[in-house]
Chains A and B, each alone.
Chain A
Amino acid sequence: MVFLALLDGTVTAFVLALIALGLSLVFGVMRIVNVAHGEFFMLGAVLSWFAYHWTGDALWGFILALLVAPVIVGVIAVLSERYILRKVHYNPESTIVATIGILYVIQQLTLMLFGPEARPVEAPIYFRVVFPWFGYSGYKLLVAAMSGLCLCGVWILMKRSKLGLYMRATQQDHEIATTFGVPTKKIYASVFALGGGLAALAGVLVVPIRQADHLMGLEPLLLSFIVVIIGGLGSLRGTIIAAFLIGISDGIISVFYEPTLAKMLATLFVVMILIIKPGGLFGESPQ
């Protein structure tokens, strides 16, 4: 029982880390909270359905979605960065209001084009892993593995590439970075696109385990808020550690407590962390 809770929690943690990573990057580099982040995730899932529907084949649809969805969402992210966020000068509070607006726009446009119902997307592979007294979805394990790969990818990008260097420089001090010739405007756009693309990628990976619907963005948004806060606003390592902490403890807690109570306690816990330690558990600096 505890083993299964751990297993399920680990899968949740991987997915959660991937979703929260984008939010964390955006917050870290740009110092803004993107409330529309959950909608980027939702778009990934919905685009995945379109890919599946269009190709008519689970595997090819999945591959197509994997390649195309992050790009499309990235473009949408860049456009909203260029025409909305830049216009409000990345003022933290205005950005929140603006991204709430973007949230509604994306959600309602999806409702128009996609319809209100939840639609299933077939998994590219389907097998059941059998343990002595219960079974588990093989695809879920695959999702965890692929999320892990993506996380590594982002990590390498941040530490080894020029873009990553620029991003880290901008994160530390935006003005000094500008003086040293870092094209901060372009960096902002790429970070926002990268954040959106990661969320979309998570959406594509997750959708075969659940279904695509236009309201699915809210829950991952709240969860990744929790993760990002506990991990320390803007700290990548913290985000990943926190995702595992939350994913696994959520898996275990909800086995023993009633789910609503578990959620309540988790939310309250986050609030307390923010109040006592505004920088988060692994935060580099309180802002």
Chain B
Amino acid sequence: MSVLLDIRDLRKSFGGVTATDGVSLAVRAGELHAIIGPNGAGKTTLIGQLSGALLPDSGQILFRGGDITRKAAYVRARMGITRSFQITSLVMDMSVLDNVALAVQATKGHSFCFFRPAHKITPIRDAAREVLDKVGLLARAETPAIALSHGEHRQLEIAVALASGAEMMLLDEPMAGLGGEESALLVEFLKTLKGQRTILLIEHDMDAVFALADRVSVLVYGRIIATGSPDEIRANREVRHAYLGEE
């Protein structure tokens, strides 16, 4: 499999704290690559640098072989990298459908179109409804995003990432705050995406990670201490010591 996202010796520090300390990682096209690590390991900081919200101090990020280290966040999004947020990030005063439609609209060229009502552009609305149907939110299409439950917010967060059509999805703790049943449903849903999209998944829920991931990397204090298949990671002594808390 070819490498889609190539991270080379990435470093980022905030004042005296080194959040990313020489991370190198190759995410292969089509795989679901999970990153696990204790709190404060620098997982969200890493996602921030990959999506363009933060600039690394040094190192390189290659996407499809091209250097995107210094590219603006919106440019990366257009190239096909999208992210979801650990803390739900939606346009709360818009409807569920509008939130997804905005993601679809972004894939259809620029939006400097001033006169035609957006609600009447059926290709966009239909595509958005289709995505909502996939994540099971179609019945809530006209509801303002703010009126959704936490679980539905997480679903919508995924729907928006999905609708952006991005080849590479960076999912930052999509299960955060979900109950067991909701979590299991989301795991099933993410399974259906496997092979279609390349996913870099950050997750605390170990059951979810081991059920979903093709490969797992362990991030501790800004360093990747191990990368391998779920079974290899489970068996890795260093990982068990540093992260899983066993001797």
A binds B: no
Question: B: which residues have CB within 8 A of A?
Answer: none
Binding site for B on A (CB under 8 A): none
